[in-house]
Amino acid sequence: MGLLDSLLKYASPAKKNRVLQYDMAINQARACVNIRDMQGQTNTTVQHLKLTFGNYALPLDNVFSGCKFLVVPTNEVAMVREKLQNAVNQGEFDKEIVVLQEIRKNKAETQGAQHV
């Protein structure tokens, strides 16, 4: 029994029906948007909230031109998160999501071409 044979019991088959984020319909893509605190738990008075789609941050130009994140007092974080989530669900950030999908698709195609 070779080394790879001993690892066989840990193998997990790839999901056959997996849809990549850049190929998702907009409704599926909205569900992949996360609201993250950029600072973690280091600051107890405010949180720096941003919207992310995969590893990419969504611009918050709908809130204020050039805005990348929101500085929110800790006691208002739940309310702001709810408002952001509602805005995402209602399609307020669809244009930004589609732009990021295109960026991710182009990056994947470029990386795929480099590995050939």
How far apart are alpha carbons 105 and 100 in whole angstroms? 8
Residue 17's pLDDT is what?
A: 62
Closest residue by Cα to residue 46 from 75, 79, 84, 78: 75
Task: Please state the domain extents for the chain.
Answer: 18-114
Q: How confident is the model at residue 115 (pLDDT cuts 50, 70, 90)?
A: very low
pLDDT digits (tens, 9 = 90+) for 21-75: 888 999 999 999 999 998 776 778 899 999 999 889 999 998 889 899 999 999 9
Query: Tokens for 38?
Result: 């950029």
CB-based contact 79:88 (threshold 8 Å): no
